[in-house]
Amino acid sequence: MSFCKYLTAASLATALSISIASAATFTIDPGKVTVSGKDFCPFADCELIGEVAGGSFDLDTVGQSASLDDLFNWEVLLSKPWATGVGAYDVSVNLNFSSPSDASAGGSGYAGFATLAGKISGGFLKWVSGSGTVDFADGYKLSYTLADATALGFGTETTTGASFTLEQTPAPVPLPASALLLIGGMGALGGLRARRNRKA
């Protein structure tokens, strides 16, 4: 390969390495769900608690989506294992992202449960404001939707999730003027050398 061709290939490789973006990892930290409301469990105490389990996912293309099906953990706490009762609550949450940079999102809604002897339980979750966008300082933007749910089964625990879509990626970083001049100068030198070799 001639010196001129080598410089051209190196210049193209440099430009491509700057314009191609790698996948970004989005990380949600564990946290608490704020739950407030009323419950009624005769001869025992009961309450609904919620936690953000946290999680990570990778996205690299605008329009690409990911889901975290177990983002939230929900549990009906019973002071007696055989307790029977019902509850109705308002819920709100902040999702705190720690990567690719610090950011937060939120949601609010309502939830309820019924449990029979602490063995068979049912419940529902409805997010009233459970979607929006998250802007990151480094130029990424996500849209998100928190999942509504209904559940019926054995025990007093369940999980719910959320989906995320990449709406924007950081703008490509342009080559600095000095780098462009350097590449141009190296190309010119390569051309002169090739011309001299042909004359010789």
In the predicted model, what is the mean pLDDT of the chain?
A: 86
**Is 191 a residue whose pLDDT tops 80?**
no
Q: What is the pLDDT of residues 28-39, one digit of tens each?
A: 999 999 999 999
**Is 1 a residue whose pLDDT tops 60?**
no
Residue 109's pLDDT band, with cuts at 50, 70 and 90, is very high
Residue 164's pLDDT band, with cuts at 50, 70 and 90, is very high
Q: What is the pLDDT of residues 20-60, one digit of tens each?
A: 556 899 999 999 999 999 999 999 999 999 999 999 999 99
Tokens of 183: 């590449």
Average pLDDT over residues 59-80: 97
User: From CA 8, how far away is CA 190, in angstroms rounded?
Assistant: 9
117: left (phi over 0), alpha (psi -120 to 50) or beta: left
User: From CA 148, how far away is CA 109, in angstroms rounded?
Assistant: 9
Choose among 128, 95, 94: nearest CA to 109. 128
User: From CA 62, how far away is CA 182, in angstroms rounded?
Assistant: 33
Choose among 87, 153, 80: nearest CA to 120. 153
User: From CA 12, how far away is CA 99, in angstroms rounded?
Assistant: 31
Report the pLDDT value the prediction gives residue 171, as an integer from 0 to 100.
84
Contact 80, 72 (CB under 8 A): no
Going from N- to C-terminal start, the domains of the chain cover 1-21+172-200, 23-171
